[in-house]
A and B are shown apart, each in its own frame.
Chain A
Amino acid sequence: MSAAEGNTAPLTVRAARAFAAHVGGDSSLMADLVDDVTPLLWHVARGQGLSPDSAEDVVQQTWLRLLESADRIQDPQSVVKWLMTTTRREAWRVSRAGRRVGSHADPTEQVAAAELS
């Protein structure tokens, strides 16, 4: 197991459980899945240089697409990866379409600036 997999294993396991239940007709865990994974998707979208508004749209679209694509995702274990890939692809498309959006500020600089002030 790689270091990255080890670090995300609990999230992917939780996500797989929630998504498998959803496909089986019980969507009661989907609220937790949205809360768990949305911050990750937010940073994926922002990392592609999207403005906060565009990032919010892209992340919301990703979740709606998950509902439409639920029957095409064969392995529940891959649902987090599917969400991240879909977000990155859509964010990339949106950021290419709107070049006016500036690049995402480096968070280390923001925090450093806050600490220095």
Chain B
Amino acid sequence: MTHADDLDRLAAAALDETDERVLSELRALWSAGDPPPGGLTERIRFAMTVASLEAEVARISEESLAGSGVRSYERASTVTFTSGSLSAMIDIETGDEDRVRVSGWVSEASVEVELRERHRSRTTDVDASGRFGFAAVERGLVHFVLRRTDDPSARPVITPTIEL
């Protein structure tokens, strides 16, 4: 059998361990040489959420930090947001290692607050004085979505990504 025959036979055969090893090395080479920028998928997910909700993105007007230093996301113990006539304050209380309690206040009383975690979301109404809370929230990247219940035509407001 000639060398060319060997090549033809190998090319026609199913993927074997050697092929898989070569392919995974090629993948590693591409990933090492030109990785996607850090935070790219998080930015994309946020843009998709904003687009699908047709939401306004709130602006962070004030925050007090639990830690310090350079960070890619807002990591804070208290964050204040504004968007149009609506403002909201969110307070993050550290419980045990993995979970935190989030409490907050919204400037209007007829608002529904949605907490969007990676795989699930929870919704609560604010009380008469605009207060709300979520217990046992897993640490990670979250958004809050605020909807006015007294005006269904108002666009929802979404906060930038917050790291709990």
Contacts and interface: CB of A to CB of B under 8 A. Distances in A.
Interface residues of B, number: 25
B18 interface: no
Contact of B48 (A6, A63, A111): A63
Identify whether the interface residues of B are mostly helix, strand, loop, or mixed. Answer: helix
B33 interface: yes
Given A31-B118, A43-B30, A52-B37, A67 B48 contact: yes
B14 A60 contact: no
A42 interface: yes
B41 A64 contact: no
Contacts of B23: 7
14 contacts: A3-B19, A7-B15, A30-B48, A39-B31, A39-B36, A42-B36, A52-B37, A59-B36, A60-B47, A67-B51, A104-B34, A107-B29, A107-B30, A107-B32
Given A3-B15, A3-B19, A38-B40, 18 more contacts: A6-B14, A27-B52, A28-B119, A30-B48, A39-B36, A42-B34, A42-B40, A46-B34, A52-B37, A59-B44, A63-B44, A67-B48, A105-B33, A105-B34, A107-B29, A107-B32, A111-B29, A111-B33
